[in-house]
């Protein structure tokens, strides 16, 4: 168990809908990361937060947004969902977010039908 | 785009044999490298890491080798066990950003 908690484990929704994925980092970690894993794309970095502030942005679509709350948990919001958004979404955390190893949650499997 | 990649997408190994998983990276400025293991239905799990000022690091049954001259990283697993069946990713950190390669799927034959 990495100590990173993600909910829900599975999510099935329809195109055009909006969903929220939730992540609680390891105790003491200030930085949270979101990754998308598709079958043919590997692990793609979406966005990183540190202590409530956005620190780095990767290949995140404009339809997607995230935030990190004062209690350090994070949410990833996906809107206007398309079939191609079906993927595993992982959250990871690290102490300072400055090039340390990341600890990953078990992921949320999103299926857009 | 991706700056880290693996030589082979799949590796089949006999139980008890040693496994070697290779990874090439393109950014010579990267100073920290990590190997992750991802089992089916789970998130990536940290295995071992190495900094650019080292060329070898050993863990429990695993060894990571770094050759900066040719920008090559490898993960050696000794006495491979069925529980080692997974996808293995190398990752590099450059400018605080962690980038993953495409992964190698290791299958252990009984």
Smallest Cα distance from A57 to chain B, Å: 10
Tokens representing A25? Answer: 């980092």
Q: Of the ranges A16-20, A99-103, B95-99, which is most confident?
A: A16-20
pLDDT of residue A39: 79
| Cβ distance of B98 and A90 shorter than 8 Å | no
- Which chain B residues touch A4 with a CB distance below 8 Å? 43
A and B: number of Cβ contacts within 8 A: 48
Q: A45 and B44: CB-CB below 8 Å?
A: no
Q: What is the pLDDT along chain B (110 residues), one digit of tens a residue?
A: 334 555 678 999 999 999 999 999 878 889 999 999 999 889 999 999 999 999 999 999 999 999 999 999 999 999 999 999 999 999 998 877 888 888 899 999 99
Task: Give the angle subtended at the CA of A62 by the CAs of A61 and A64, to the nearest 5°.
Answer: 70
Q: What does DSSP say about strands A42-50 and A19-24: parallel, antiparallel, or unpaired?
A: unpaired
Inspect the interface and report whether the beta carbons of A101 and B43 lie closer than 8 Å.
no
Residues of A in contact with B36 (CB under 8 A): 104
A105 with B43: Cβ contact below 8 A: yes
Cβ of A101 within 8 Å of Cβ of B45? The answer is no
CA A65 to chain centre: 10
> In this predicted structure, what is the pLDDT of residue B5?
53
Instruction: Summarize the confidence of residues A72-86 as an average pLDDT.
Output: 97
Given this model, what pLDDT does residue A40 score?
A: 66
> Cα(B95)–Cα(B19) distance, rounded to whole angstroms?
31
Confidence at A99, pLDDT banded by 50, 70, 90? confident
* C-beta atoms surrounding A61 within 10 Å: 14
* Torsion from C-alpha of B46, B39, A72, A16, nearest 10 degrees: 140
Looking at residue A5, what is its pLDDT? Answer: 97
Q: Do the Cβ atoms of B21 and B86 come closer than 8 Å?
A: no
pLDDT digits (tens, 9 = 90+) for A19-76: 999 999 999 999 999 999 987 668 899 999 999 999 999 989 999 999 999 999 999 9
Note the pLDDT of residue B7: 64
pLDDT at A1: 84
CA B69, B77, B54, B44 torsion-angle sign: positive
């Amino acid at each position: 168990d990495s100590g990173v908690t993600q909910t829900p484990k599975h999510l099935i929704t329809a195109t055009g809908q909006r969903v929220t994925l939730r992540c609680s980092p390891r105790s003491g970690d200030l930085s949270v990361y979101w990754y998308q894993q598709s079958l043919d794309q590997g692990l793609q970095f979406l966005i990183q937060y540190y202590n409530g502030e956005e620190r780095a942005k990767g290949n995140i679509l404009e339809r997607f947004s995230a935030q990190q709350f004062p209690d350090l948990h994070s949410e990833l919001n996906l809107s206007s969902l398309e079939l191609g958004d079906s993927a595993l979404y992982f959250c990871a955390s690290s102490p300072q977010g400055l090039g340390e190893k990341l600890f990953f949650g078990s992921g949320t499997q999103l299926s857009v039908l | 785009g991706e700056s880290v990649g693996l030589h082979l997408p799949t590796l089949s190994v006999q139980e008890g044999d040693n496994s070697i998983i290779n990874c090439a990276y393109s950014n010579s400025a990267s100073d920290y490298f990590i190997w992750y293991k991802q089992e089916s239905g789970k998130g990536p799990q940290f295995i071992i890491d190495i900094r650019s000022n080292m060329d070898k690091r050993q863990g429990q049954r695993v060894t990571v080798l770094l050759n900066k001259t040719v920008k090559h990283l490898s993960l050696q697993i000794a006495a491979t066990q069925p529980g080692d069946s997974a996808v293995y990713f190398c990752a590099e950190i450059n400018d605080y950003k962690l980038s993953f390669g495409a992964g190698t799927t290791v299958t252990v034959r009984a």
